[in-house]
Amino acid sequence: MSKEDDEILEEAKERFKSAEEYYSSEYQRGREDVDFVLGKQWEDADAAKRLQEGRPCLTENRLLSHVHQVINEIRQSRPAINVIPADDKADVKTAKILKGIIRNIENQSGADNVYDTAAWNAITTGYGWIRVNTKYSNNENFDQEVELIRVPDFQSVYLDPNSKMMDGSDAEYGFVFEDMDEDKFEDKYPDASKVSFDDKTNENWCTEDTVRVAEYFYKEYTKKTLYLLNDGTITEEETEDYAAKRDVQIPVVKWCKLTAKDVLEKTTWESQYIPLVPVYGEEVWQDNRRKSFSLITQAKDPQRRFNYWLTASTEIIALQPKQPYIGVAGQFASNAEKWANANNDTFSFLEYDPVQLPDGSWVAQPPQRQSPPMGSPAMFQEMLAAGDGIKSALGMFNPSLGQDAQAKSGKAILAQQAQGNNATFHFVDNLQSSIRQVGRICVELIPKLMSAPQIVRIIGDDDEKQMVPINQAVVETQDGYAPVGQNQIPTDFFDMNVGKYDVVATVGQSYATKRIETANTLQAMLQSAPETFGIFGDIFLKNLDVADAEVLSERWKKAFPQMADDQGPEAQALMQAQQAMQAMQAQLAQMDQALQQKREKDQAEIGSEIAKNEAAIQKTQADIKKTEAETIKIMAEIQAAQVAGAGLTPEAVQEILRTIALVEEQSRDTAEAVDLILSNEEQKQASLPPEQSAMLQGETL
């Protein structure tokens, strides 16, 4: 083994020892808490003593339902990663692409399970973990992709105990442990040694049939100097002419796989962060040391109290004698067997024997059933008090658990439910902080793993999947984006390597829940105002929780194309073209009216002038009729294209727009001819004597 590997291994052992000293007590409490949640609620010594004495140890677990309440609230409103531009080189569209890539990573990794497991461990033990990793996308090339890894065993991760940030972003190192079967280990690392450490940590690295392998992440730092020039620019090139300079430390994360004696593998991790993201429970700092408690840590004593009084009450009732019938001696003689089994069997009737007393009288009164055993009212009150103590320790009361409340108004019940949510919101908030750090790591990894031009899959907020070209010029199409083709003008360039982006995590309802609420809201609007269906019918149909909702929405768009003005650039172009043609029709009508008025005026003039003007007017009106015909034809094509909707291609739209341009040019020529005719008329009238001009105008009127 090289000197470098020796140094790595020695440092790893020292850091492991320090981390183990810190986490041993924390993880011990976490193990006890999760065992308690799952029903192990009696101390081993007490349970053993009672078992030896034949006494019961009853457990009525009232904590698990509270844990389920919190974890299921998280499942219904998981934090979502959002990417936002953070400098002037970043843009909103690329941020949306990055967000879609991260959503695809989450989808491929089963992030729901990853986050839920981390939340469960944080709530029940105080420590949950999310791991970010990279892997080869397939066995055919060297392309890599990001993945999120579920960490079921909270004890398998040690993170730098000196980390202060809630998301672990300032951690200097971390360990992930895996117990490998000896046979599997020998196959993968035939030259590696399985010899344990020479100190007390040996037992933590090797067992009888397995070898504990540790993945070790640690940071190194490279130094660089930044120079601020007089013109405000910043450079790393050494220069004598600068306004200021400063040295910065750039973190570089290294990864190794270790055993007790060997460095099995090593490489450089492509992010500045240790990819082990903690999800803490209830964080408390004491003596400059983090302690993370589970949800139920403070509720264990009230639960033990409840179990004790439940057991004591049950035990007392069970030990009371069973004497349901009391009678005089001799009353049970004839049916002694039936009376003996009356506690266990059900008989239609029981006969008893009359008994004669010494004074000669007869006892006619039958045997009497006695009252059943009664528990202690004080014990029952103790159980009630213990149950209330559990709720108080957790801050979760009946309305938070879906139980009936004394407050009957809706606002009062919601207020009490909000109190329970507020009491446990720090678990949700801690998970949100951790998922934000997951997003930061992904944003840092994506440009490095996806630096070449390629087409990637993204997933939108509505879970719609889309293929998008990145690191290349693109054009916007009806279905999204496509690489620039021949003779096409690019509309965007999604460069993953340019710009700085930040991440926020938001807690809210899932898209499916929002979709159902949207449908319910719109349905209520339709009941009060049915005419609004023509405004948002496609949105209402799309959000219905029925089969073929998308098909219904698309058919609505085809039936009412004029209302669906957000169908993409092609549909918008058609709407603009339709408006232009309508304006052109109005202009042509005005020109035709002006020429008709000119014709009526010419009827008052001499024959030669009439013939001359009539020819020009007829030609111009013919041009107007021709242009109107072409306009009507184009309008029909536009309406047909709008009805076709989804079948419209960008090429077809471009052809329609080119035809419109030609018609517009023809219309302009016609307008110039009309203006020329009217201008000549004005000039002619201006050249006539006043009395003749007045006579002609009077005749026209």
CA count, 13 A, side-chain hemisphere, 445: 28
**Cα separation values, 561 from 478, 546, 558, Å:** 15, 23, 5
- DSSP run (H or E) holding 64: helix 64-76
CA gap 409, 518 in Å, rounded: 26
Above 80 in pLDDT, residue 499? yes
Total domains in the chain come to 3
Identity of the amino acid at 578: Q
> Which one is predicted more confidently, 36 or 617?
36
Q: Which of 374, 401, 425 is the last residue before a domain boundary?
A: 425
Mean pLDDT, rounded, for 651-666: 62
For residues 334 and 624, the model is more confident at 334
Q: Which residue has the tokens 């004696």?
A: 261
Instruction: Tell me the two tokens of residue 530.
Output: 């049915």
Q: Are residues 540 and 576 in the same domain?
A: no
Strands 263-268 and 244-258: antiparallel
Q: Which pLDDT score, from 0 to 100, does residue 206 have?
A: 55
Of 374, 390, 425, the residue that ends a domain is 425
pLDDT at 527: 80
Q: Give the pair of three-digit tokens for residue 148.
A: 């999120």
Q: Cα(436)–Cα(501) distance, rounded to whole angstroms?
A: 13
For the chain, how are helix, strand and coil distributed in percent, rounded to 5?
Answer: 50, 20, 30
In DSSP notation, 409-425 reads SHHHHHHHHHHHHHHHH
Mean pLDDT confidence for 182-187: 87
Q: How far apart are CA 218 and CA 4, in angstroms?
A: 14
Distance CA 123, CA 140 (A): 42
Q: Are residues 644 and 670 in the same domain?
A: yes
- In order, the DSSP letters of 461-530 are TT--EEEEEESSEEEEETTEEEE--TTPPP-EE--TTSS-EEEEEEE---HHHHHHHHHHHHHHHHHH-G
Nearest to 373 by CA among 322, 309, 312, 311: 322
| Beta bridge partner(s), residue 127 | 280
Domain assignment present for residue 285? The answer is: no
Strongest mean pLDDT among 201-210, 547-556, 657-666: 547-556
Cα separation, 483 vs 468, in Å, equals 9
- Evaluate if residue 401 carries a pLDDT over 50: yes
pLDDT interval class at 645 (50, 70, 90): very low
**Closest listed residue to residue 127, CA positions, set 213, 26, 270, 15:** 26
pLDDT above 70 as % of the chain: 71
Distance CA 36, CA 300 (A): 8
Residues 537 and 580 in one domain: no
The pLDDT, as a whole number, for residue 168 is: 96
Inform me whether the pLDDT recorded for 147 exceeds 70: yes
pLDDT of residue 198: 36
Q: Residue 678: name the closest of 610, 589, 613, 612 by CA.
A: 613
pLDDT at 646: 42
Q: For the residues 263-277, what does the mean pLDDT come to? A: 95
Write down which residue in 425, 456, 475 finishes a domain: 425
Distance from the first to the final alpha carbon of the chain: 113
Domain membership flag for residue 114:
no
Highest mean pLDDT (candidates 490-504, 515-529, 575-589): 490-504
551 occurs within a structural domain: yes
**Same domain flag for 515 and 632:** no
- Mean pLDDT comparison of 71-75, 240-244, 275-279, 574-578, highest-scoring range: 275-279
pLDDT single digits (tens) 426-462? 999 999 999 999 999 999 999 999 999 999 999 988 8
pLDDT at 98 over 60: yes
Q: How confident is residue 199, by pLDDT bands cut at 50, 70 and 90?
A: very low
Closest CA to 574 of 667, 582, 626: 582
pLDDT score recorded for residue 422: 80
Asked if 454 and 141 count as a contact pair (C-beta separation under 8 A), the reply is: no
Give the Å distances, CA to CA, from 40 to 51, 56, 60, 316, 650: 15, 14, 11, 23, 67
In whole angstroms, what is the distance from residue 692 CA to residue 585 CA?
37
Q: 67-71, 234-238, 641-645 — which is least confidently predicted?
A: 641-645
Q: How far is Cα of residue 246 from the mean position of the Cα atoms in its chain?
A: 41
Helix 569-602 to helix 650-687 angle (10° resolution) is 20
In the Cβ-directed half-sphere of 167, how many Cα atoms lie within 13 Å? 17
The pLDDT value given to residue 196: 44
Residues 407 and 525 in one domain: no
Q: In this structure, which amino acid lies at residue 585?
A: Q
**For residue 492, what pLDDT band results from cuts at 50, 70 and 90?**
confident
pLDDT digits (tens, 9 = 90+) for 293-341: 999 999 999 999 999 999 999 888 877 666 677 788 888 888 888 887 7
Mean pLDDT of 130-145: 91
**Residue 644 confidence (pLDDT) above 70:** no
**Nearest 5 degrees, angle CA 397-CA 401-CA 406?**
55
Q: Are 267 and 253 in contact (CB under 8 A)?
A: no
158-162, 384-388, 540-544 — which is least confidently predicted?
Answer: 540-544
CB 144 within 8 A of CB 449: yes
Residue at 539 is within a domain: yes
- Collapsing DSSP to helix, strand or coil, 274 comes out as coil
Contact 541, 556 (CB under 8 A): yes
Same domain, 549 and 669: no
**Which pLDDT does position 458 carry in this prediction?**
94
Judge if 579 and 537 occupy the same domain.
Answer: no
In this structure, the number of other CB atoms found within 10 A of the CB of residue 130 comes to 28
For 569, other C-beta atoms within 10 Å of its C-beta total 14
Gap between the Cα atoms of 676 and 134, Å rounded: 75
Strand 173-181 to 244-258 pairing: unpaired
In which band, very low, low, confident or very high, does the pLDDT at 200 lie, cut at 50, 70 and 90? very low
Same domain, yes or no: 579 and 691: yes
Domain membership flag for residue 182: no
Co-location of 538 and 623 in the same domain? no
- Within-domain flag for 37: no
User: Does residue 499 sit within a domain?
Assistant: no
Name the residue type at position 555.
R
* pLDDT number for residue 138: 86
Residues 690 and 662 in one domain: yes
Residue 369 has what pLDDT?
76
pLDDT tens per residue, range 18-71: 999 999 999 999 999 999 999 999 999 999 999 999 899 999 999 999 999 999
pLDDT band at 634 (very low <50, low <70, confident <90, very high): low
Rounded CA separation 106/104 (Å): 5
**pLDDT score of 380 more than 80:** yes
- List, edge to edge, every strand of the sheet that includes 144-150: 144-150, 127-136, 276-280
Q: Do 635 and 520 share a structural domain?
A: no
DSSP-derived secondary structure letter, 196: P
| 246 vs 362 pLDDT, higher one | 246
User: How distant is the alpha carbon of residue 635 from its chain centre?
Assistant: 45
Task: List phi, psi (to 5°) of 468.
Answer: -130, 130
Question: Nearest-CA neighbor of 162 among 7, 279, 285?
Answer: 285
Cβ contact 184:288 at 8 Å: no
Q: Residue 135 belongs to what H/E stretch? A: strand 127-136
More confident residue, 632 or 369: 369
Between 406 and 236, where is the model more confident? 236
Burial class (CB in 10 A: 0-12, 13-18, 19+), 489: exposed
Range of 533's domain?
511-559
The token pair that represents 392 in the structure block: 């108080």
Contacts of 687 (CB under 8 A, 6+ apart): none
Which pLDDT belongs to residue 694? 52
Burial (CB < 10 A; 0-12, 13-18, 19+), residue 40, is middle
Q: Give me the chain's average pLDDT, please.
A: 81
Query: What confidence category does residue 509 fall into, taking pLDDT thresholds of 50, 70 and 90?
Result: low
Q: pLDDT at residue 615 above 70?
A: no
**583-586: which pairs have CB atoms within 8 A and are 24 or more residues apart?**
584/627, 584/631, 584/663, 584/664, 584/667, 585/628, 585/631, 585/632
Mode of pairing for the β-strands spanning 368-369 and 325-326: antiparallel
Distance CA 417, CA 372 (A): 40
Residue 419 lies in a domain: yes
Return the SS3 of 264.
Answer: strand
Cβ-contact 295, 127 below 8 angstroms: no
| Residue 416 or residue 112, greater confidence | 112
- Residue 197 banded pLDDT, cuts 50, 70, 90: very low
pLDDT value at residue 255: 97
Is the same domain home to 573 and 696?
Answer: yes
